[in-house]
Structure 1
Amino acid sequence: CLGFDILCSALVAMLSASLAVLFFPRQWSLYSGSKSTQELPRRLLNSQELSLYDGEVGSKGIYLAILGQVFDVHNGIKHYGPGGAYHFMAGKDASLAFITGDFTESGLTDDVSSLSPLQVVALFDWLLFYQRTYQTVGLVIGRFYSKSGTPTKFLLHVESLLAKGQQLKAKTEGEMLRFPACNSEWSSARGGRVWCSTKSGGVERSWTGVPRKLFHAGASGSRCVCVEDPSAAKENPNLQEYDGCSTHAVSCSLVE
């Protein structure tokens, strides 16, 4: 959560709720698959105009933008106002920093071209948090929206990454349920150990399973997972037993 202690609990609660999103100002449905009939009023600001809302003395208020959408965060003045922990985000679109945690001048940018599809999903989760928590003001003319308020090619590209990221996330979550992460420990006296139980990797289940190394094509390493059926696991070329560990053992000492 980037160290955002105030926002983390709200974000976690938000992520467990419905992911239906209204992406301002268009009628959007990537999360829910259903269109909203609501159309919000639109105000267009350039980056210079947005900078006038940084909360400093003489400013017009406190705004911040994420993915080109502008929010009035005055209700969070203790966080975004002068002296606040996140004041550096006021008056600008610092979309990239929400994911990288780079709050330097170069990191506080709206250029998210370096993000992976899964990181784009996380960024849109942040967007949803602001949509639910603060008042939407308008759009920033520039990287994401044109002078007429229409999406740019760059935004359309980011949206395509969002769709791809959602597919990858669904696949990953499915794999995590099928092959939940195992438990692990290490000590200088006993060395390393991996084991399975009815709850590991955040997945609670009725079966214990056995530890296996799970490899992915193109990946340099593997991760330890619990496999329910040891016999069926032998047929999967991406699953490998730990050296020195019997096929049906629920706990394996790591051989160095």
Structure 2
Amino acid sequence: MNMMAGQFINSANAAVDPSSSDAMRLLDAKPAGVNEQKERQALKNQTSSNIMFVRGETQGVGYNGKMVNPDIIDIGDIITAVILGVYYPKIWEQIRSINFGKKKTSNGNLSAENYSDLLLTKEQLNEFNGVGGQPIYLALLGRVYDVTRGEKHYGPGCAYHFFAGRDASVAFITGEFKNYIEDEADNVLALKSPAILSLINWEKFYKSDYIYIGKVIGRFYDESGHPTKYENKFRAMAEEAEFDKFNEQKLKDKYPDCNIEWSIEKGSHVWCTESSGGKERNWIGYPRKLYDNGNENFRCACVKKEYLDTKEVVITPYDNCEHESQECYYHVN
């Protein structure tokens, strides 16, 4: 009986800090007799929403005022303890059903790898909002993180409590908390490339600073935890955005920004130097309008003489400015 299936914490137990690594291991058992299997299944079906599924090592958890070593506890020990009344009855009074979304192996047992992710519906995720001492879960792009240790930011009454217990990925970009449409809160495909990259940066932040818990069943992941077409499309868009950013940076290295200033008397003044655009170089260049992807938006770029007739990008000279002048003045109507 030593196949590891995961760990759980009873958040009602004051001796256990949900944000710490102190948790009891729930070990799955090898196939046994019919009666024992029924007992095990009954225990598994009595899973509380006050019990967090976590991963990682644990040093032990107390019950009945004593510390136990989780390394020597298996499912049989737990069943025995319950039968003998070692665990307080009030623990089981709080037990409610929660869908862990795990698959069974061919022999009917839950495998260890199936416990790697916790799968939650939106309704179940909403319960973990920090109210009444509950743990605080936050979802971003369909992935759930335990942010309980950041309670001063995400707890009730705090600045970012809006994000607790939900996936509000769009609000990370818009900052819109009041006109909130629940069904569209995680619909990110309409965002522009810079916003998508910003979400990817947020994702990196939560991965590095908080504990990854699992996934939300819905837009990004199905009931088995597999990526949906929506998730795949978003990741493809993110890759494209990264590629565009890389190319944009290459263009900025080749065609660095001009210096620019404005005054009432002279209007806009643009000019090039050997360090304009923050790029130190051994050439100066000539101010040109460089258009982004051929649209109406442009930036002032310093262009080398040999690139003045390039077809790589769309560049045009400033009106009333000499062809090889290193500064130009213009007025915006």
Question: Normalising TM by the smaller chain, what interval?
Answer: 0.7 to 0.9
Alignment-derived partner of residue 135 in structure 1: 211
1:45 aligns with 2:110: no
1:145 aligns with 2:221: yes
Alignment-derived partner of residue 66 in structure 1: 140
Alignment-derived partner of residue 309 in structure 2: 234
1:115 counterpart (177, 182, 191): 191
Contact in 1 for aligned 2:259/2:270 (Cα 8 Å)? yes
Amino acid at match of 1:68: G
Given the two structures, how large is their TM-score scaled by the length of structure 1?
A: 0.77
Change (3 A) 1:64 1:220: same
Contact in 2 for aligned 1:80/1:86 (Cα 8 Å)? yes
Consecutive unaligned residues in structure 2, runs of 5 or more: 1-113
1:193 counterpart (269, 282, 291): 269
Amino acid at match of 1:181: D
1:215 aligns with 2:291: yes
Measure, in 2, the Cα distance between the counterparts of 1:77 and 1:95. 19
Larger Rg: 2
Measure, in 2, the Cα distance between the counterparts of 1:147 and 1:126. 25
Measure, in 2, the Cα distance between the counterparts of 1:130 and 1:170. 24
Total equivalences in the alignment: 217
Measure, in 2, the Cα distance between the counterparts of 1:103 and 1:93. 13
Is the partner of 1:204 in helix, strand or coil? coil
1:206 aligns with 2:293: no
Compute the displacement of 1:73 (Å). Answer: 1.0
Contact in 2 for aligned 1:69/1:139 (Cα 8 Å)? yes
Contact in 2 for aligned 1:243/1:255 (Cα 8 Å)? no
Measure, in 1, the Cα distance between the counterparts of 2:331 and 2:174. 36
Amino acid at match of 2:160: Y
Is the partner of 2:177 in helix, strand or coil? coil
1:78 aligns with 2:78: no
Compute the displacement of 1:197 (Å). Answer: 2.4
Alignment-derived partner of residue 164 in structure 1: 240
Q: Compute the RMSD of aligned alpha carbons.
A: 2.3
1:94 aligns with 2:168: yes
1:54 aligns with 2:118: no
Amino acid at match of 2:196: V
Change (3 A) 1:168 1:199: same
Change (3 A) 1:102 1:202: farther
Measure, in 2, the Cα distance between the counterparts of 1:202 and 1:84. 39
Change (3 A) 1:40 1:252: farther
Amino acid at match of 1:75: R
Consecutive unaligned residues in structure 1, runs of 5 or more: 1-38
Compute the displacement of 1:241 (Å). Answer: 1.5
Over the matched positions of the two proteins, sequence identity in percent amounts to: 40
Compute the displacement of 1:147 (Å). Answer: 1.0
Measure, in 2, the Cα distance between the counterparts of 1:218 and 1:245. 22
